[in-house]
Amino acid sequence: MTNESYQCIMAQRPEIMQASIGIDYSRYAAGAIAFDYEQLLDDSGYSIEVVREIQSRTAVGNTPLIELNNITQLIRAVSIPGHGARVFVKDEAANPSGSFKDRRASLPVYEAKQRGYSGVVAATSGNYGAAVASQAAKAGLQCIVVQEAFDSKGIAQPEIAEKTCACEAYGAEVMRLSVGPELFYVFLLTLKQTGYYNASLYSPYAILGIETLGYELALQTRQLTGRFPDVVIATHAGGGNVTGTARGLRKAGAVDTQIIAASVDLSGLHMASDRDFNRKSFTTGHTGFAMPFTTWPDRADVPRNAARALRYLDRFVTVTQGEVFYITEVLAALEGLQRGPAGNTSLAAAFAIAQELDEEQIVVVQETEYTGAGKHPIAQLNMARQMGIEVTRGDPHGNKPGVKIVIPEHPTQLHAAEVDLNQMRRSYIHHAIQALPDNQVLSEIDMEFLAAETRTNNAYVENVIHEIHRTS
């Protein structure tokens, strides 16, 4: 075994992490599995005012909140009379690299600079890479982005190819890999070889940077309508978007706003499958990330993930690929906004959810993202056809990821499918018990931690544990 072999580098994970992110996560351990989540975030030392000030230096944030009047009218046209909430969207495409990920990248890059690192490394195939590259360019730091980019035939996912191009435009070095979770090994090896900073998507800094999004949209909604949003819908993958937005809303005083996560349903496709890689049509905001990360956040590239969606979610829904493509067309045609797929996942859900609400209620879709070559429904559907996927119009219930993409024929067909949050909570607790070190038992602190993690109470957690033991 060479000292750079897979096993050898993976075994050095704790030391590489410690050196590359500068946080001693062991300080926050509280029980057999518990850790002090709030302290981990507080110790970063950034108040929301300071974060806003740092972000404003690179023109990050302060994006417009746009009322989607025509889409609201379309919703009302298909709703029960008196129903159909007003829908707004936070136009995060107005950030420097074109997505809310600039907020997420701002503090990690700022920290790297403050701490004297000469460069940053990020493991990401999406907007976050471009955001880190953009922030690093402005800060005068080197940047390496590690992407899962192409399948074994060398065919690149068009959206990821667009991100490669964007990252390179910002002066980043892009390591493009074939399909597989060993991207994490390459990431660790690169951190070790370069001594650069780990600009993880899941560090406290990354999550604190998103809080400004929730904070701004709460205040903007109140300014425009006289009230806080009734519902905020966030596209959900690794959990950072939901976590940061919800925390920001609370900090602005919007404590009663309902937080709904929306993901594209990619059930049946395997995230580490070379065959499925170019059959997903979406690179993020989908269930392939959302399900595993919601039910066990600590699978991230840091020891403790600061994105913990179950702590904040009121509701979780999925939409189909075809519904997202449909609403993307509607947004362009009715609102004059051509935007990328990420925010349109939550917009598709908002279209259905707004129909449940009264006319005076407010729904905010909390992001848009830029669009362009590769990162576009036309490119994705051409790729789908190349991969042998049927593309048709009809009832989106017939959508089958990897086999058939069904574009709705009429707006009445848009539907937000409920994900059972209790099932997510049980799955989370199950993972926590599996993670319990041998010969250790759950203490009172652990029980309280699990209750906070699942937004439940000790009795709920005890019941679930009892159920798990009875059935195992």
Partner 1 sequence: MTEPVKPGTWVEIYHVILDAGERAPQLPEDTRHLPLEMRMKGWLVETASLNEAAEVKTPSGRLMRGTLVAINPAYTHGFGGPIPELTPIGSEVRALLRNKGLFT
If binding is defined by CB under 8 A, does position 381 make contact with partner 1? yes
Torsion sign across C-alpha atoms 87, 93, 99, 100:
negative
| DSSP conformation letters of 265-288 | --TT--TT-TTTGGGSS-SSSBHH
Among 165, 219, 433, 445, contact with partner 1 (rule: CB under 8 A): 165
If binding is defined by CB under 8 A, does position 329 make contact with partner 1? yes
Q: What is the total count of residues that contact partner 1 (CB under 8 A)? A: 64
- Look up residue 140 and give its two tokens: 């005068």
Binding mask 201-230 for partner 1 (x = CB under 8 A): ------------------------------
Rounded to 5 degrees, what are φ and ψ at 403? -120, -50
CB of 320 to partner 1, least distance (A): 14
In the 8-state DSSP scheme, what is residue 411?
G
Among 43, 50, 56, 171, contact with partner 1 (rule: CB under 8 A): 171
Distance CA 283, CA 129 (A): 13
Q: Answer whether 342's CB lies under 8 Å from 285's CB.
A: yes
Among 8, 59, 378, 459, contact with partner 1 (rule: CB under 8 A): 378
Stretch that binds partner 1, among 28-36, 185-193, 358-366, 464-472 (CB under 8 A): 185-193
CB of 309 to partner 1, least distance (A): 23
Burial of 23 (0-12, 13-18, 19+ CB in 10 A): buried
């006319």: which residue's tokens? 359
Q: Answer whether 117's CB lies under 8 Å from 197's CB.
A: yes
If binding is defined by CB under 8 A, does position 27 make contact with partner 1? no
Element (H, E) at 218: helix 204-225
- Look up residue 163 and give its two tokens: 């991100």
Among 13, 251, 315, 393, contact with partner 1 (rule: CB under 8 A): 393
Binding mask 103-132 for partner 1 (x = CB under 8 A): ----------------x-------------
- 3-state DSSP assignment of residue 291: helix
- 3-state DSSP assignment of residue 235: strand
CB of 393 to partner 1, least distance (A): 5
Helix intervals (H) in 253-340: 287-295, 321-335
Q: Answer whether 37's CB lies under 8 Å from 452's CB.
A: yes
If binding is defined by CB under 8 A, does position 359 make contact with partner 1? no
CB of 400 to partner 1, least distance (A): 16
* Angle, CA of 176, 181 and 183, to the nearest 5°: 35
Among 14, 181, 195, 253, contact with partner 1 (rule: CB under 8 A): 181
CB of 111 to partner 1, least distance (A): 19
If binding is defined by CB under 8 A, does position 138 make contact with partner 1? no
If binding is defined by CB under 8 A, does position 435 make contact with partner 1? no
Q: Which is nearer to partner 1, 274 or 448 (CB)?
A: 274
Using CA atoms, how far residue 369 sits from 107, 142, 383, 443, in Å, is: 20, 25, 21, 44
Site residues (vs partner 1, CB under 8 A)? 5-6, 69-70, 73-74, 76-77, 119, 142-144, 149-150, 152, 156, 158, 161-162, 164-165, 168, 171-182, 185-186, 193-194, 270, 272-275, 325-326, 329-330, 332-334, 373-374, 376-379, 381-382, 391-393, 407, 410-411
